[in-house]
Amino acid sequence: MRKILPLTIITLCCVAFCPRQASALNMSAPPKPEPKPKFVYKDASGKMSSVEIVDKYQPTKIVHPFARIDSKIDPKLRRAATIAEERARAHSHSQCWRFVKEALVAAGVVSSRPITLLAKQAGQELVNNYGFKKVTVSDPYSAPVGAVLVYGAGRAAGHVEIRTVDGFVSDFRSKTPSRRPLIGVYTKA
């Protein structure tokens, strides 16, 4: 009896610490994994397509790429982006167009200070008086470094910001563009 008790205890410990070997004794078939649910839709050409439905939290954030530096645009615009970034504050003070104007003048992009008061009018003034051109970009993340982005806002003043390497800047710095509707992206050659 004294020899059997220690052997029983050792056997139970082995089963407790080695469950994989103990589960090998189970003779039933392993359960089949359930197929992942799919969302079925018709694409633009009318072809049926499907994608897996995301049903778990994705711990990684969506990261937008750094802005591209376009060699065709005036290098002074990149300098204006740097100046605006140096002068920007942490939070908005509703003076976006004023800060962008000052950065454009300080970098030598424009010869005189623009006179429009509302930010949503900035694009027209830059095109008419300072030689800017409207670029066919509809996604603010696709704008080149130094580009001036103009946003509308119904009856409000709108918003203006300059694209930087890792975000956007006006009177404050931001990693994301304004949520207002984009009027246009303007650059100078």
pLDDT in tens, 166-179: 899 999 999 999 99
- What separation in angstroms does the CA of 141 have from each of 14, 180, 182? 59, 14, 12
pTM above 0.95, yes or no: no
State the average pLDDT for the chain.
84
| Residue 38 contacts residue 53 (beta carbons within 8 Å) | yes
CB atoms within 10 A of CB 145: 21
pLDDT confidence of 151, banded at 50, 70, 90? very high
How far, in Å, CA of 80 to CA of 108, rounded?
8
**pLDDT tens sequence across 78-124:** 999 999 999 998 888 889 999 999 999 999 999 999 999 999 999 99
Give per-residue burial for 92-124: e unless 16+ CB within 10 Å, then b. Answer: eeeebbbbbbbbbbbbebbeeebeeeebbbbbb
Is the confidence at residue 148, as pLDDT, over 90?
yes
Is the confidence at residue 183, as pLDDT, over 80?
yes
| Average pLDDT over every residue of 178-182 | 92
Report the CATH architecture of 75-187. Answer: Alpha-Beta Complex (3.90)
CA angle 23, 27, 30 (to 5 degrees): 75
Residue type, 88: A
Residue type, 131: G
Is the confidence at residue 144, as pLDDT, over 80?
yes
Is the confidence at residue 4, as pLDDT, over 90?
no
Nearest C-alpha neighbor of 159 from the set 90, 79, 98, 87: 98
Question: What strands lie across the sheet with 167-169, from one edge to the other?
Answer: 133-135, 182-187, 148-151, 159-164, 167-169, 173-174
Place of tokens 């984009």: 182
Domain boundaries, the chain: 75-187
Q: Is 84 helix (H, G, I), strand (E, B) or coil?
A: helix
Place of tokens 């424009």: 110
Confidence at residue 24, expressed as pLDDT on a 0 to 100 scale: 53
Q: Please state, for a pLDDT cut of 90, what percent of the chain lies above it.
A: 48
Nearest C-alpha neighbor of 126 from the set 95, 99, 148, 107: 148
How far, in Å, CA of 152 to CA of 168, rounded?
16
Q: Which helix (H) or strand (E) holds 99?
A: helix 96-106
